[in-house]
Chains A and B, each alone.
Chain A
Amino acid sequence: MSNVIKNPRNGCALHGALQTVQEIRGAVPVVHANAGCGVVNYLAQRNGSGGGARYSGFSIPGTAAQERHVIFGGASRLREQIKNTIKVQKGDLYVILNSCESAMVGDDVDAMTREIVEQGEPVVDTLVAGFNGGIHYGYEHVLADILKSLDGIFKSDIEKDERLVNVFGIVPDKDPYWQGNLIEIKRILNGFGLKANVFFGATGSVHQLKNAKNAAVSIVFTKWGELPAKVLKEKYDVPVIIRPSLPADANGVQELATALAEIVELDASKVDEFIADEEDFENSILYRVRDEIFEYGLSKTAAFIGEEEQAIRIGGFLKNRFGVEFSAIVLTDALKKDEEHETDNGALLAAISENVYIANDQKEINDILRGSGAEVIFGSSLEKDIAGRLNVPLVEVSYPIVDRVILNKTSVGTNGVISLIEEYVTVVKEYDVRKKEIASSIVRGVQGGESWQERLQKKSYSNKLSSITELQTREYISAQR
């Protein structure tokens, strides 16, 4: 049963579908809901780090349903809206997104869509009522519905491409690094001699969606993506590989190659050469922070707050390569009861931490963090408050990240792992500066107005220094900034 949530970080199915469609170039979302439903998503996203898509915010067509549409039904309003959308807004594919309202009222949207498709217009619809599920549900269902309907609209023959790989599982804007991650995956698949069929962002469009049926394989990173990949499997016999996470580093790249080789033919020597180069590159860059690893004690006790895929990827890497011990992992996207997916990553997660929780309630998360004894938190901007209270550094890796812009920075593959480590070391160093300031103020006797000589008389100075990391008074720290 789902409960009340404090500071929910996941939007609803409509939001998931909306941010999925708006990142497909050439696709135009048409929101059949009251005026503000889509805007809520826009306002939440624009505070985040990803910038705006071409069809975002107030450029998105929508029926802006009014009371009369709730009472008498909104189908005729929707018909008028679709017809006019095609006349006003440029697009190769129009995707109608149905909301709570339209579901509760029971509008026959399918009939509307059929009618307009019969006229030769590229329109699909999907029901993504907010009360039916979250962002990830919206992502999976809208993609599945589009892939199911595309053939009926564009009617093209199958031309299999043995090098083409569909990429599923990275939810646009939900993964703060989604754009960079897709670019990195594309680069890696190119390195294997394959072609990535990416649907979103700078390198994806409606064309890639149309081409998805011709792929040699669909690869699903994380379970969110199983559904659309299965549609392609059932309709066009495109095999599916499900990976628990995106590749974290050169090792992950190697594992990905092994998994792919089971289904597509790879040039082994080419792949080996590529991976050797990746390893060499990664090692020689990370070599530069070897001193920091020891001097700042980076094998810390940590807590991770984020999505399952990130926990497996980032958590696994930090544990295996940096000796980080995870005293708590909180999965913010996992469902308490998941009947839709076959993937179960329980064992993988258990290998990273003994304490794996499912939570997206801020109070619950904060309580877990309080009890975790973590010296560093890998989480989102929503953990800033608790990190401040616990006086531990926060490395922002999961959604939402606010107050910064992330355009094509990646957190996966060799490039991603390098930027992750950059971030980790930077945050720890910044924290160290603060720690030194506090130490210096203690030495100067600012705290409590006592001089350090006075305090030395009361209790040993070294005693005081050892308690620095436990300073509870947050105000004191902010005064130091």
Chain B
Amino acid sequence: MSFLEERKALTREKRLSALSHFHGTLEGLIDETSGAEIKQRIRTFSQIHVDETIYAFNVLSKIEDAAIIVNGSIGCGNIGLSEIDEAFGWYSTNLVERDTILGGDDKLREAILRAYEEQHPKAIFIIGTPVVAINNDDINSVILELEDEIQIPIISIYTDGFKSKTPVTGYDIVTHSLLKYLVDKEPDKTEDFVNIISFSEDIEDVAAIAKSFKAIGIDYQVLPRFSTIDEIKAASRAKATVVLNPEEGDYLAKELEEVYDVPYIVSEAPIGFRGTKAFLLKIASYLKRENEAIRYIEEVEARLQKSISLHLLDGKNVFVDVSLSKVPAISRFIEKLGGKVVGFGAPLVDLDNRKQLLKLDFLSKGTTAVIGNGQYFEKANALKKGEVDIYVSEFFGSSFAADEGATVVSTRNKAVYGFDGVYALYDSFVKAIRLTNKISNDDNSNYKLSWKSKSGNWYVKQEVS
């Protein structure tokens, strides 16, 4: 059943029973998440982490011809500084105490009109923040009133920062709004291109995949990040949809299939040689371009084999901290290079992405599993206990691991997707090993030794409501 009937997207917890708090073993996690519903947990000590308003902003700010209004206090609007580039502009409604009492709709109206006049966007997005959600400001009547006047879609993104523990809910909320208000409802024909769905990927990652698509001769458009409003509208006319990170893009792809009959070519994330090969072959065979794909893959394979030593990680204990969809591919790669994955971290497990856990059958059952956004204190605990040599992370602030005795492989600022990514990832390991014991300093650790000798799940508790 399509979720589009709902006024706004359900949180990931409600829709897919998402779990953001767990610390234990792989076996325990599989056990915990195998039922029809996943039991919620909480942390009685936590560290700050990304929320859905930030994720929503990250996606929307990369839509070329849209204007963005952050409806909240001045600090919420500060998020724009994380995405400064010369051409990018955003607005803050700059709500002050008076507005929290009397409502901020006048400012919202002003912001919409300014955004329209100054930027001539094709759509305006309004990102919700805690203050507005607590106040329950009436955003819809402002939208109704102004949409008539300016004749472009004004779309409210119902984020609030406290109803979900999973930041990916921000992607879901954006998806829901795009489908409901932008995507062409009655596509007259199918056109000869494929939707590539990207939410969190770096532009270099997207480029790595785009390069392969070009080589095989598949036309594509990327959305919703790095897109335009017209491209989003055209999503319903695509021949098929592929998703770079299933746990982020599944929702959009599935709804496109269900509501607009655009087939979703389900595949794992195109990471590592095997992952990328499977990803490309799947879409190519659907489009009947298998021969081109095989030729291309063989050519790349011959090139890649030369530069990789299969003993690079011999004897190394590795902890992988990435989105769950990427854990199997990256872990496989590490084990192929001779390393041992002793633990992994991921932001969430839900009823959909839990299948990734079963793909980890090549790891021992006792492998440490930490589910949580950030929560570096628990990872510090796991790194120390697991005598981890290498910490692999796709998140900001990964250097904390150096103080727990590990060297760090950060996948930031490089393409790890596609065939390009295979070498980039390998190269990151080479560079990280050179830094072994050079950056680390036990005294720098932010965490008390007494904590690191406690059980890692000390602060993870059953939720009582």
Contacts and interface: CB of A to CB of B under 8 A. Distances in A.
Given A4-B107, A39-B48, A41-B75, A34 B161 contact: yes
Given A4-B110, A36-B51, A88-B377, A47 B81 contact: yes
A40 B90 contact: no
Given A41-B75, A58-B374, A59-B47, A8 B94 contact: yes
Contacts of A10: 74, 78
B142 to A, nearest CB: 13
A225 to B, nearest CB: 21
B80 interface: yes
Given A35-B51, A47-B81, A56-B397, A8 B162 contact: no
B44 A84 contact: yes
Contacts of B91: 4-6
B162 A48 contact: no
Interface string B69-80: 000111111111
B445 A90 contact: yes
A215 B92 CA distance: 41
Interface stretch (A11-19, A240-248, A339-347): A11-19
Contact of A134 (B74, B76, B375, B459): B74
Interface stretch (B185-193, B253-261, B446-454): B446-454
Interface stretch (A61-69, A191-199, A444-452): A61-69
A463 B179 CA distance: 56
A28 to B, nearest CB: 8
B165 A11 contact: no
Contact of B86 (A31, A33, A34, A388): A388
Nearest to A58: B374
B100 A7 contact: no
Given A8-B77, A44-B81, A90 B446 contact: yes
Contact of A60 (B47, B73, B94): B47
B78 A36 contact: no
Given A36-B50, A58-B48, A131-B100, A66 B92 contact: no
Interface string A418-436: 0000000000000000000
Given A55-B446, A131-B73, A382-B84, A43 B79 contact: yes
A44 B78 contact: yes
B356 interface: no
B87 interface: yes
B163 interface: yes
B41 to A, nearest CB: 13
Given A34-B161, A64-B49, A2 B96 contact: yes
A105 B135 CA distance: 11
A130 interface: yes
B114 interface: yes
Contacts of A38: 48
Nearest to B46: A64
B171 interface: no
Contacts of A37: 48, 75-76, 130, 161
A59 B45 contact: no
Contacts of A99: 130
Given A2-B96, A34-B130, A81 B45 contact: yes
| Interface-central residue, A35, A67, A400, by most chain B CB under 10 Å | A35
Interface in B311-350: none
B114 A85 contact: no
Contacts of A64: 43, 46-49, 165
Contact of B162 (A46, A57, A69): A69
B95 interface: yes
A10 B72 CA distance: 14
Contact of B81 (A9, A68, A70, A134): A9
| Interface-central residue, A56, A58, A382, A388, by most chain B CB under 10 Å | A58
B389 interface: no
A182 interface: no
B5 interface: no
Contact of B53 (A36, A52, A81): A36
Nearest to B170: A36
B82 A47 contact: yes
B149 interface: no
Given A34-B162, A39-B50, A381-B84, A130 B448 contact: no
A14 B75 contact: yes
Contact of B94 (A2, A33, A56, A132): A2
A6 B73 contact: no
A224 B48 CA distance: 28
Contacts of A41: 75, 78
A100 B130 contact: yes
Interface in B413-463: 444-448, 450-451, 459
A131 B131 contact: yes
A40 B130 contact: no
B80 A8 contact: yes
B238 interface: no
A6 B90 contact: yes
A4 B446 contact: no
B111 interface: yes
Interface string B175-212: 00000000000000000000000000000000000000
B319 to A, nearest CB: 16
Interface string A112-135: 000000000000000001111010
B362 interface: no
Contacts of A6: 89-91, 114, 118
A88 B451 contact: yes
Interface in B9-60: 43-54
A58 B75 contact: no
Nearest to A88: B451
A385 interface: yes
Contacts of A34: 51, 130, 161-162
A402 interface: yes
A382 B374 CA distance: 30
Interface in B362-399: 373-377, 395-397
Interface string B147-162: 0000000000000011
Contact of A48 (B81, B95, B445): B81
A384 interface: yes
A384 B50 CA distance: 29
26 contacts: A5-B74, A5-B92, A5-B94, A8-B80, A14-B75, A36-B54, A39-B48, A39-B51, A40-B79, A42-B48, A43-B81, A43-B396, A44-B79, A47-B83, A57-B396, A58-B49, A58-B376, A61-B45, A62-B46, A65-B162, A66-B162, A80-B44, A87-B448, A88-B447, A90-B448, A382-B84
Q: Which 4 A-B pairs have the closest CB atoms?
A: A12-B75, A36-B51, A84-B45, A58-B374
Interface of B: 43-54, 72-84, 86-87, 89-97, 99-100, 107, 110-111, 114, 118, 130-131, 134-135, 161-163, 165, 167, 373-377, 395-397, 400, 444-448, 450-451, 459, 465
Given A5-B91, A101-B162, 6 more contacts: A8-B94, A12-B74, A15-B75, A33-B48, A87-B451, A384-B86
